[in-house]
Amino acid sequence: MKFSKSLLSLALVLASAIVGSAAFAQSSTTLEASRGEYVVRLGNCVACHTVEGGKPFAGGLKMAVPKLGAIYATNITPDPETGIGNYSFEDFDDAMRKGIAKDGHRLYPAMPYPSYAKMTEDDMRALYDYFMNEVEPVNLADQASEIPAVLNWRWPLAVWNVMFGKLSRYKVEDGQSEAWNRGAYLVQGLGHCGACHTPRGIAFQEKTLDEDRSSFLAGAQLDHWSASSLNGDINSGLGRWSEADIVEYLKIGKNRFGTAIGTMVEVINNSTQHMTDDDLMAMAVYLKSLPAVAEAGDAPYAYDAAAEVALSSMSLDEPGSATYFNYCLSCHLYDGSGHGEHMPPLAGNPILLDPDGSSLINVTLNGSLRVIAEGRPEHYDMPNFRSSLSDKEIADVISYIRKAWGNNALAVSKADVTAMRDATDPTINDVVVLRMK
Ligand code: HEC
Ligand code: HEC
Ligand code: HEC
């Protein structure tokens, strides 16, 4: 990784991802992961409750709440004064399922309790035992939220009214296989995949918490990354992926369709790569059962050689094609096929075909966190082009790769790039880059 000025904040974030997982690994006293530790991995508690340089689960991560301000994830170590040391199992259960803290205040749904409400009693007890017995207590006071007082009380009530009654434990679907049910339980519950992949409604609530409605996992934007559709949509969703493709992606962060970028990298680094193959396969079985929604009836992506022919003969009249030739081609190639396991393809890649272009703009401006699978960081990284390319050049090159090689997605505008550049400017103190903070 190159340490240019504009990359500094990304480097810090990367460091925090590594520190977070290393510290977490040491916090376990047993050699084999306890059941509680495995459940913590499934729930990815570390992603929000640990910060760079901080002790595991001592809290502090800043998270933006759209339109309202920011809040901080809390200290959930068993310290009686500043953490959850005084929580009985019932208190813990209420926080996890209903979003009600021990002192009665309601938690913002940035804490994904609507998903955790699906957990079984057994998993909840394993989680509680883990926090009480295997996590080191840390005396560190929570930081106050940065939300104006009036909104501060109105907001949870609004959310509460919308969500109350919908929060319930996972109910086994008798007509479905054991694997399907396990997958549904993990995706809807501990994995809280909908927290990023399901569009949110007016009160920041996820529009639906299971497959009963078509907005489930239909794709959404959070923290300047588009978490693309995980339903059966043939081009921008998982319609062309096999179950094995999904397992591979969640295990090592890439497959023949592409490489994980943005906030998904943290999910893989901290959570899914630690899941058993059976659990990954169960999630794949469940995800593959979700029907196509936006692209029902569309034709699947098919390669078109026109761009390859033009690039090979250096006919670079198409806007964006010269930028591609000069800045991108060495890694992503003439035919957009990438380089085996090292460079992702751009031809037919679902991220390229996502109706929402924000992940593409973000990765081109800022690069991405690196996947660290099995303790080894990926060899190659997407460079950032924040200082070398103008907004117009970036808009043109992205619009170009969204049309080249048979890709068929909408252009992005210069204004979209300018907005993303401002929102992810690493020199602004309060900026939310890459992480849910
Ligand atoms: C996406 C981020 C995120 C994840 C993942 C997450 N939390 Fe939280 N959690 C938060 C935030 C933010 C708060 C504070 C909310 C507030 O102040 O309203 C919180 C609050 C809590 C509280 C209430 C603590 C208190 O001080 O009253 C508990 C308990 C808790 N989380 C446990 C967990 C556990 C256990 C997991 C993993 C299974 C987990 N959290 C995963 C963001 C997260
Ligand atoms: C030095 C090699 C290299 C160059 C040059 C490069 N990329 Fe990348 N690109 C990567 C790698 C590696 C990834 C995978 C993400 C990661 O590991 O950071 C990637 C990911 C992407 C992605 C997301 C696809 C995915 O599946 O992750 C897009 C879009 C992209 N690059 C576009 C571009 C554009 C546009 C340019 C030129 C302006 C460019 N890249 C130049 C190496 C490169
Ligand atoms: C913190 C936000 C976040 C959470 C939580 C999250 N994802 Fe993602 N996910 C993303 C983003 C952003 C992308 C798009 C970038 C990419 O494709 O690398 C993505 C992409 C993916 C992709 C690739 C889609 C494609 O078409 O390329 C899969 C598969 C996926 N996620 C599965 C999951 C599963 C399963 C879970 C739950 C265990 C999950 N995600 C939870 C943010 C998240």
The pLDDT tens digits for 387-410 are: 999 999 999 999 999 999 999 999
Q: Is 185 in the pocket of ligand 3 (CB under 6 A)?
A: no
CA of 408 to the centre of ligand 3 (A): 22
Please check whether residue 206 is in contact with residue 163, taking contact to mean a CB–CB distance below 8 angstroms.
no
Q: Is 228 in the pocket of ligand 3 (CB under 6 A)?
A: yes
Q: Is 227 in the pocket of ligand 3 (CB under 6 A)?
A: yes
Residue 177, pLDDT > 50, answer yes
How far is Cα 165 from Cα 254, in angstroms, rounded to an integer? 38
Residue 7, pLDDT > 60, answer no
CA of 430 to the centre of ligand 2 (A): 27
The pair of three-digit structure tokens given for residue 163, joined into one six-digit string: 């969500």
Residue whose CB lies within 8 A of the most ligand 2 atoms, among 339, 341, 351, 382, for a mutation test = 382
pLDDT band at 199, cuts 50/70/90? Answer: very high
Q: What is the mean pLDDT of the chain?
A: 87
Number of C-beta neighbours around residue 79 at 10 A: 20
Residues touching ligand 1 (Cβ under 6 Å) are 43-45, 47-49, 63, 71, 73-74, 76, 84, 92, 95, 101, 107-108, 110-112, 116, 127, 436
pLDDT at 4: 32
Q: Which domains does the chain have, with CATH numbers?
A: 1-169 (no CATH), 306-423 (1.10.760.10)
How far is Cα 225 from Cα 365, in angstroms, rounded to an integer? 12
Could you tell me what percent of the chain has a pLDDT over 90?
69
Separation in Å, CA 223 to CA 144, 296, 326: 21, 28, 30
Q: What is the pLDDT of residues 60-70, one digit of tens each?
A: 888 877 677 78
Per-residue pLDDT, averaged over 347-368, amounts to 97
pLDDT band at 145, cuts 50/70/90? Answer: confident
Residue 84, pLDDT > 80, answer yes
pLDDT at 16: 36
- SS3 labels along 270-326: HCHHHCCHHHHHHHHHHHHCCCCCCCCCCCCCCCCCHHHHHHHCCCCCCCCHHHHHH
How far is Cα 374 from Cα 358, in angstroms, rounded to an integer? 29
Q: Which atom of ligand 2 is nearest to the CA of 368?
A: 18
Residue 31, pLDDT > 90, answer no
- Ligand closest to 103 (CA) is 1
Please check whether residue 387 is in contact with residue 329, taking contact to mean a CB–CB distance below 8 angstroms.
no
Q: What is the pLDDT of residues 283-296, one digit of tens each?
A: 999 999 999 999 99
Residue whose CB lies within 8 A of the most ligand 3 atoms, among 185, 186, 223, 267, for a mutation test = 267
pLDDT at 436: 29
pTM of the model as a whole: 0.92
pLDDT at 266: 92
Q: Is 350 in the pocket of ligand 3 (CB under 6 A)?
A: yes
How far is Cα 164 from Cα 143, in angstroms, rounded to an integer? 27
Structure-token match 């058993």, residue found: 276
How far is Cα 435 from Cα 308, in angstroms, rounded to an integer? 35
CA of 305 to the centre of ligand 3 (A): 30
CA of 175 to the centre of ligand 1 (A): 34
